[in-house]
Structure 1
């Protein structure tokens, strides 16, 4: 009995140490990445667009590693980068609607002609193009072409980050029933509630700080952002399970790859972009 008790204590201590090390890596990575990210968002313009282009390139590089067999990875990554550059050029030279249409068309065309390009994963090639380029074009459009663009981008990003932190912290502290254990064993219903609470807190802060922000609209928007961000997180988890990998990459210590860090953002941004485009106003003004 003493030996079993001792072994259990050792295993528990080892688990705590692993969690602490993982948390430390996450915190350090966030502190390193946060200042340049905030600076680029604040500056806007060409610097912000180039920064988004770099992030999109990293994401597509990771997609290439996920969806292609080793012998096809160089070719797949080259095709993804060419598609991204074409879409960004269309958006910046003509209009962002042209860039979005280009993303949809290029995704479809590459899927149709993927056999001629000797790419194995036909469907996933189109998914990678559309799922990466449309959100990245969306955030560039929001920052540069709408009223309260800076404030809107900051709100969306902080809401998604708050959702991640709230869900992660609440899930670790409270635990409880799993959300979708077959897709993501670590996610819990308590974590989802914590993410909603954190996102609503951000909405309340923006309502207080910005006189043009409207609280009655922002609170339900905060809940929607949390739900959509969690869906994005679960979708990325299911994709990684499909390809039998733990992380999309190793670029960010404690987080894995860029896709692991922005998975929730990739589902939230297209919906927010579409909502703003249809309404003609920032979500802060609803």
Structure 2
């Protein structure tokens, strides 16, 4: 009887408040969330620089994750390419110009990365670029840029928080145990519902009409956010790491905190560009 009872207890959900890092997670959020919203409200170069710094840290964490020693020339070249890409995107208001800088950065990564890791090094540059490119493209829309960023925050943060609490409270079948043994289908569905609902609420309160198309898009972005979390879990598992860094208490590194956001942001930016063009990407993602 005792082994069966023990197994039964092991299958129960851990509980939303059983995480010893919960208080540190909350404290970190109380610092980061106001800073992110303030930068979004300010817009322009302060917003771009805010996310460029975040992208630079993500790039550093990625390189330290995949390489035993990061060649200074490679790291410096990638950082310059990343900064140049942001400068060109904002100055010319065209993401295509940033591809030139990223191409040079990819060449530097290819030339100076250790044998067998060049694809990972190039992938890290693209991964870090998504951190800054997605938000900047959306925010630079002069009409709905700020609202689009608030919507994106609501979808991603809502999905993240709800997935965490739903998964730990409800438990149930695992989402993808080979990549992330703690994530569950209940958490994924909870995050999908909460992220979509909060995103629509933000848009409604801002005065922009809420449509069925926006609801579907919000759900897709919430799902993309959780997919980004799984992708980072895959990378960390590939290189036998628990966290990408230790900069943020309760969360690990900046890469650990932005894994879902950067995927959601770049997907939202691409949809916005496809529907609204270079002049109105935020309108393209919000108005259906």
Separation of aligned partners in 2, 1:17 and 1:267:
26
Separation of aligned partners in 1, 2:269 and 2:17:
39
Separation of aligned partners in 1, 2:206 and 2:35:
24
Stretch of structure 1 that moved more, 156-165 or 118-127: 118-127
Matched with 1:195 is 191
User: Where do 1:75-90 residues align within 5 Å?
Assistant: 75-90=73-88
Separation of aligned partners in 2, 1:221 and 1:36:
26
Q: Structure 1 pair 213/16, CA: closer, same or farther in 2 (3 Å)?
A: closer
Matched with 1:19 is 18
| Of 76, 94, 97, the match for 2:95 | 97
Matched with 1:37 is 36
User: Where do 1:167-182 residues align within 5 Å?
Assistant: 167-182=163-178
Secondary structure class of the residue paired with 1:69 = coil
- CA-CA distance at 1:89 after TM superposition: 2.5
Is the CA contact 1:64–1:73 (under 8 Å) kept in the aligned structure 2? no
Secondary structure class of the residue paired with 2:181 = strand
Q: Structure 1 pair 201/192, CA: closer, same or farther in 2 (3 Å)?
A: same
Q: Structure 1 pair 166/73, CA: closer, same or farther in 2 (3 Å)?
A: farther
CA root-mean-square deviation: 2.7
| Of 250, 257, 270, the match for 1:261 | 257
- CA-CA distance at 1:104 after TM superposition: 4.7
Matched with 1:282 is 284
Q: Structure 1 pair 207/16, CA: closer, same or farther in 2 (3 Å)?
A: closer
- CA-CA distance at 1:241 after TM superposition: 0.4
Separation of aligned partners in 2, 1:118 and 1:260:
23
> Bigger relative contact order, structure 1 or 2, given CA contacts below 8 A and separation 6+?
2
Secondary structure class of the residue paired with 1:123 = helix
Is the CA contact 1:146–1:282 (under 8 Å) kept in the aligned structure 2? no
Unaligned 5+ runs, structure 2 = 277-282
Is the CA contact 1:25–1:254 (under 8 Å) kept in the aligned structure 2? yes
Secondary structure class of the residue paired with 2:148 = helix
- CA-CA distance at 1:90 after TM superposition: 2.0
Secondary structure class of the residue paired with 2:250 = coil
Is the CA contact 2:81–2:102 (under 8 Å) kept in the aligned structure 1? no
- Give per-residue Cα distances to partners, 1:201-221, cap 9 Å, x unaligned: 213413531332323222211
Higher helix fraction (1 or 2)? 1
Q: Structure 1 pair 118/230, CA: closer, same or farther in 2 (3 Å)?
A: closer
Is the CA contact 1:100–1:137 (under 8 Å) kept in the aligned structure 2? no
Matched with 1:69 is 68
Q: Structure 1 pair 207/75, CA: closer, same or farther in 2 (3 Å)?
A: closer
Unaligned 5+ runs, structure 1 = none
What is the TM-score with the length of structure 1 in the denominator?
A: 0.87
Q: Structure 1 pair 176/73, CA: closer, same or farther in 2 (3 Å)?
A: farther
Matched with 2:59 is 60
* Segments ≥4 residues shifted beyond 4 Å: 15-18
Matched with 2:280 is none
Matched with 1:106 is 104
Secondary structure class of the residue paired with 1:186 = strand
Stretch of structure 1 that moved more, 84-93 or 17-26: 17-26
Q: Structure 1 pair 257/118, CA: closer, same or farther in 2 (3 Å)?
A: closer
